Amino acid sequence: MNRDAESIKSATVKRVKALSAPKPLTHGLDPDHRNREVIDKATAEVKELGYAIIPGFLSEQRLNLLRNDLEPIFEQSGIRNADQGGRYSGLQTVHVHNLFAKTRAVDEIAIDPVLLLIIEGILGSLFQLSVGTAMSPQPGVDPQGLHRDDGHYPLARPRPPFIANSLIALDDFTQANGATRIVPGSHKRTEDIKPNTEVIFAEMPAGSLLVFDGALWHAGGGNRTKDQRRRSINLNFNLSWLRQQENQYVGIPRTEWLKMPERLQRLLGFQKVNFLYGSVDYTDPLVYFKQNAALLK
C-alpha cells in the first residue's frame, strides 16, 4: 500500500472509530419525583390499555402561548369532501403537515422531558419523530373510520410497538367536538376489528396529552358542535431504524434546521443508529450537516 492509500485508510479507520454508540435522545433528562411517577404510570397504561391521558401536560401559560403562536398554522387547515367511502368519508379535516418547517412554536414541546421519556418507555431508546401535524376538526366534520397508525409496516402481528402517537389538546376534547375515539386494549389484537366495535371517547381538558401505541384502533370523532374547533398538535414517533412518514430532510429548509435545539434536530432524524444507519460518509449526520452548512455560509 502506498503512502496515500495508507493515509486514506487510517483516516477511514479513525472515522469509523468515531462512530461510537450514540447517546439516547433522552440523555441528560432528569425528571423530578412527581414527573417520574407520571411517566411510569403513563408508560404502564399504554402497555396495558394502549393509551394514556396526562392532564395538565401544558401549563396555562404555555397553552395560551401555543394557541396564539399557532393561529396562523390552524388557518391553513381546512375541510375536504372525502366521499369515496371506506375509512374516511364525508367531510374530513385537512391536517397541516410538515409542522417544523412552518413554525418554531412547537420546538420545546416536542422535546419536553415527560413526553420523550414516555415515548422511550413505549418504544425503547431508538426513536424519532415520524411526522408532526396540526389538527383542527371544524364544526360539521364527520368521524374518521377506525384505524391503526402502524398498518403501513407490512409485518405480521403480534409484534413490538413500532409507533407511539401523541395528541396535545389545545381545546377541551369532548364527545361533541370530536374527541378521539379509542378501542381500549385493541393494540394487543392481531386481527382487524369490526367497524361497529364499542369505543370510548378520549375526553380531556385543554393542555392534556393523549399518548397511544400505534397499534391501537382509534379515530378522530365527528364535530357536532356549531362553533367549537378541536385543535391539537399531533406528534407521531416511530423506531429510528424505520422510514419516517414525512420526509423532513427535504421538507424543512436548512435555515430552519439551524435554528433548532440539537435534541430536536436529532429527534427529527439527524441520528446515527445501529452503528451506521443514518450516517453520512462514516460521519454522524448532524456533525456532517453542520460542517457543510458552515461551508455554504
Ligand X SMILES: O=C(O)CCC(=O)C(=O)O
- At its nearest, how many Å lie between ligand X and the CB of residue 135? 5
Residue 190: C-alpha distances to residues 43, 182, 184, 218 (Å): 21, 16, 14, 15
Minimum CB separation of residue 47 from ligand X in Å reads 20
Which is closer to ligand X, CB of 152 or CB of 259?
152
Please name which of 260, 285, 238 lies closest in space to residue 111, comparing C-alpha atoms.
260
> In the complex, what is the shortest distance from the CB of residue 4 to ligand X, in angstroms, rounded to a whole number?
55
Q: Of the two residues 95 and 272, which places its CB atom closer to ligand X in the complex? A: 95
Residues 87-126 vs ligand X: string with x where CB under 6 A? ----------------------------------------
CA distance 232 to 176: 16
Pick the piece of the chain touching ligand X (CB under 6 A) from 26-34, 37-45, 218-226, 274-282. Answer: 218-226
Nearest-angstrom CA–CA distance, 252 and 217 = 31
* Nearer CB in complex with ligand X: 93/248: 93
Comparing CA positions, the residue from 130, 137, 168 lying closest to residue 152 is 130
Element (H, E) at 254: helix 254-257
- List the interface residues with ligand X, window 127-146 (CB under 6 A): 135, 144
Provide the minimum distance between the beta carbon of 224 and ligand X in the complex, in angstroms, as a whole number: 14
Choose between 235 and 286: whose C-beta lies nearer to ligand X. 235
Q: Which is nearer to ligand X, 119 or 202 (CB)?
A: 202
Number of residues binding to ligand X, judged by CB under 6 A = 7
Q: Does 218 bind ligand X (CB under 6 A)?
A: yes
Give the nearest distance from C-beta 202 to ligand X in angstroms: 7
Dist. CA 254–CA 290, nearest whole Å: 10
Footprint of ligand X on residues 231-290 (CB under 6 A)? none
* Dist. CA 165–CA 292, nearest whole Å: 33
Residue 18 CA to residue 16 CA, distance in Å, equals 5
Q: Taking the complex as a whole, how short is the minimal distance between the CB of residue 245 and ligand X, in angstroms?
A: 11
Q: Where are the beta strands (DSSP E) in the chain?
A: 51-54, 78-81, 91-94, 127-135, 163-169, 181-182, 200-201, 209-213, 218-219, 232-239
Residue span binding ligand X (CB under 6 A) among the ranges 77-85, 112-120, 215-223, 240-248: 215-223
Backbone angles phi, psi at 210, to 5 degrees: -105, 125
Closest CA to 274 of 159, 126, 129, 163: 126
173: which strand partners? 204
Residues 150-189 that bind ligand X (CB under 6 A): 167, 180
Residues 8-67 that bind ligand X (CB under 6 A): none
Least distance between ligand X and beta carbon 161 (Å)? 16
Which residues are within 8 A (CB) of 65 and not within 5 positions of it... i.e. 6 or more apart?
Answer: 105
Which of 105/170 has CB closer to ligand X? Answer: 170
Q: How far apart are CB 221 and ligand X at their closest, in Å? A: 7
- CB 50 within 8 Å of CB 215: yes
Q: Which residues bind ligand X (CB under 6 A)?
A: 135, 144, 167, 180, 218-220
